[in-house]
Every structure is written in structure tokens, then in C-alpha cells.
């Protein structure tokens, strides 16, 4: 019997990269929120998979998704087996909706979905605490997907803290437009460009001050939005700032880049003209652009 787990995308509403660490990673302060849009991962008994040379296998309906050990789903499965001693074999099937190279956390979310599916198949051998530890080891964005709500991320992203209830109420359920051009941005490139530019970091004390000011007040989500990875991406990909400037001037929105990009997002009013917005995005970026209307989870 198969188990299907929803694997949501995320956006970074607030992203302050504060500096480079000695281990090569970067420290950050971020508010990230899952979306009601995402992938689906099905896990089924692999039967005699182990005897055929592989305990875990993966198929996907989208081109370009790696199906070998470089995929975080299979890495998560191997880690789960090693940490818990579970000996089952599993066939994973990924229904892919989150575009690649978007800064929407698709790979990290898929890894957490795999951990959750395996925990259910194994009868709960890990539990939330061990799942969180495994998620943090798999990738910087993984831990946030265990919460299912907007969170604050610190360190390289592995330190996750729940937001106060009042802050969550200002975020959860907000309508959001997510849009991505036909090209992606590789996260390692984006961070390397930040290092080369040198002046884009925001001091940690200032990042915490800005976050605390929003958390302690009653300002809407639009007042929280920030991303200091934008300058590096915008320097190379001029199509991004040109369109965002138009959406600000013509529609009164406050669009931002999500994570390292290339996906962008804009919080919408309930009466925002989605048709006109979609037309403007496709006119600027062509038919290859992804346009999604969803809500913050």
C-alpha cells in the first residue's frame, strides 16, 4: 500500500544573509513560509528491490529531475535507514510541480516528504525529534518543512523557531502570486556572487532589529519583505528587476525575489487583477514563465 505525502514549496518573506562562515556556509536570518502549492511524493513497498541491487528507487514525471543518488529524496532514504536501522525497500514516485532552480525549496521539501513517508511506513521508528536532526543534516532549508507553518530560520537555516501566534495570523492564508522566468539560478552561484561582491551582507544585529520591529508591531506582511540576495541576481539577470519595477509602478505591488531565485513573488489583495498580472508577466518573460496563484500555509 502506497503513502502519498504533500511536499510544499516555500518562499522567503524576509532573507538577510549576514556573512560567510568558516565552514564555507553562510549565516542568515530569515522568515520562510510554506505554500499551499507543491509536489506530491508517493512511497510504495519496493518488494524485492534490495535483491535487484537497490533498496530505494525514484521515478518522476518531469524532465531534468535527477533520479540517482544526487537526489535528496534518495539521500533522505539512505539516511533514514542508517539512523533507524529500518530494513525496508521503497519505490518513490514524485509528481513534480515546483519548478527547478527557483529558490522555492523543492528539493529540500521533497527530502522531508521522503522522511515523513518512511517514518509512516516503518511504524514511526524515528519520531519528530530524530526527523528534525536528519532534516538538518540533509540541507539548510530542510528543517523548516517539518513545521508546516511560517518560521524564523537562523544559522545556515538549520535552527528553526516558531513565530508568535500574532505574526502567524498576519501571514497564514495570504494570497500570493509566484512567478518564475524560463531560466533558473543555481544557489551556489548566487552565494559565490555575494562573496565576490562583498558589500551585500546585512549585519546580524541589524537583521535581528528589523525582524523584531515587525514581530513586535502590527504591520502587514508587506512591511516584512526583504532579500539581500537580490543585488547579485539582478546584476546578471536584468529581466528580473525590470519586471518587478513594472509590477510596482503599474499594479502597486511589492514583489521580491524568493531565496536565491529565480522565482519571485508578490502578496496579493483579494481583488488583485490576477489576469492582468499574468499577462504582464508573460509579456515580459514569454510563454516559458511559470505563474502560480496560491496562499501562504
pLDDT at site 158: 86
pLDDT at 198 over 50: yes
pLDDT tens profile 138-159: 988 898 899 889 999 999 888 9
Mean pLDDT for the stretch of residues 228-248 = 97
Q: What is the pLDDT of residue 50?
A: 47
Query: In sequence order, what are the residues at sequence separation of 6 or more whose Cβ sits closer than 8 angstroms to the Cβ of residue 6?
Result: 38, 39, 40, 113
* Inter-residue contact 88 to 37 (CB < 8 Å): no
For residue 48, the model assigns a pLDDT of 58
Mean pLDDT of the residues in the chain = 94
Reported confidence tier of residue 13, pLDDT bands at 50, 70, 90: very high
Instruction: Give me the pLDDT at residue 1, please.
Output: 66
Q: What is the mean pLDDT of residues 4-29?
A: 96
Which positions are annotated as active-site residues? 10, 141
Q: What is the mean pLDDT of residues 273-294?
A: 97
pLDDT at 120 over 60: yes
Q: What is the average pLDDT across 10-39?
A: 96
Whether residue 167 is predicted with pLDDT greater than 60 in this model: the reply is: yes
Residues 6+ apart with CB under 8 A from 193: 232, 233, 235, 236
Fold for 3-162, please state it. Ribosomal Protein S5; domain 2 (3.30.230)
Give the pLDDT mean for 184-191.
94
Q: What CATH fold (topology level) applies to the domain 172-295?
A: Alpha-Beta Plaits (3.30.70)
| 172-177 mean pLDDT | 97
Number of Cβ within 10 Å of residue 248's Cβ equals 13
Cβ-contact 39, 76 below 8 angstroms: no
**Average of pLDDT values for 178-182?**
97
User: In this structure, are strands 3-20 and 26-45 parallel, antiparallel, or unpaired?
Assistant: antiparallel
What is the percent of the chain with per-residue pLDDT over 70, rounded to a whole number?
98
CA max distance for the chain: 61
Among 283, 251, 279, 281, which Cα is nearest to 267's? Answer: 251
Question: How is residue 122 written as a grid cell?
Answer: 516503518
**Cα→Cα distances 173→34, 158, 227, 270, Å:** 11, 25, 21, 11
- The DSSP secondary structure of the chain, one letter per residue, reads --EEEEEEEEEEEEEEEEEE-TTS-EEEEEEEEEEEEEEEEEEEE-TTGGGGT-SEEEEESSTT---STTSHHHHHHHHHHHHH-----EEEEEE--SPTTSSS-HHHHHHHHHHHHHHHHTTSSSHHHHHHHHHHHH-TTGGGGGT-S-EEEETTTTEEEEPPHHHHHHHTT-EEEEEE-SS---HHHHHHHHHHH-S----HHHHHHHHHHHHHS---GGGT-EETTHHHHHHH-THHHHHHHHHHHHH----EE-TTSS-EEEE--TT--HHHHHHHHHHHH-TT-EEEEEEB-
- Give me the residue spans of the domains in the chain: 3-162, 172-295
Query: Is-contact 281 289, C-beta < 8 A?
Result: yes
Extract the C-alpha cell encoding 43. Answer: 512511497
pLDDT on residue 275: 97
Amino acid at each position: 500500500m502506497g503513502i502519498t505525502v504533500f511536499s510544499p514549496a516555500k518562499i522567503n518573506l524576509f532573507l538577510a544573509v549576514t556573512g560567510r562562515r568558516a565552514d564555507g556556509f553562510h549565516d542568515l536570518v530569515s522568515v520562510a513560509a510554506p505554500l499551499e502549492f507543491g509536489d506530491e511524493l508517493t512511497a510504495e513497498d519496493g518488494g524485492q528491490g534490495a535483491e535487484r541491487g537497490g533498496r530505494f528507487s525514484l521515478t518522476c514525471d518531469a524532465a531534468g529531475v535527477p533520479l540517482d543518488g544526487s537526489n535528496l529524496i534518495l539521500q533522505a532514504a539512505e539516511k533514514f535507514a542508517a539512523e533507524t536501522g529500518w530494513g525496508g525497500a521503497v519505490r518513490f514516485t514524485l509528481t513534480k510541480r515546483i519548478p527547478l532552480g527557483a529558490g522555492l525549496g523543492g528539493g529540500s521539501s521533497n527530502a522531508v516528504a521522503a522522511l515523513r513517508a518512511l517514518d509512516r511506513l516503518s511504524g514511526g521508528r524515528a519520531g519528530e525529534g530524530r526527523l528534525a536532526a536528519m532534516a538538518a543534516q540533509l540541507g539548510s532549508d530542510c528543517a523548516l518543512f517539518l513545521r508546516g507553518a511560517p518560521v524564523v530560520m537562523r544559522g545556515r537555516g538549520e535552527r528553526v523557531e516558531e513565530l508568535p501566534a500574532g505574526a502567524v495570523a498576519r501571514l497564514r492564508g495570504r494570497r500570493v502570486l509566484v512567478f518564475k522566468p524560463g531560466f533558473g539560478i543555481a544557489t551556489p552561484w548566487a552565494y559565490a556572487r555575494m562573496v565576490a561582491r562583498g558589500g551585500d551582507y546585512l549585519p546580524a544585529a541589524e537583521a535581528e532589529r528589523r525582524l523584531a520591529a515587525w514581530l513586535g508591531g502590527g504591520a502587514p506582511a508587506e512591511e516584512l519583505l526583504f532579500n539581500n540576495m537580490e543585488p547579485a541576481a539582478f546584476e546578471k539577470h536584468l529581466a528580473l528587476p525590470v519586471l518587478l519595477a513594472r509590477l510596482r509602478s503599474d499594479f502597486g505591488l511589492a514583489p521580491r525575489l524568493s531565496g536565491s531565485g529565480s522565482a519571485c513573488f508578490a502578496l496579493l489583495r483579494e481583488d488583485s487583477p490576477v489576469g492582468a498580472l499574468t499577462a504582464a508577466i508573460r509579456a515580459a518573460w514569454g510563454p516559458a514563465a511559470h505563474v502560480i496563484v496560491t496562499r501562504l500555509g
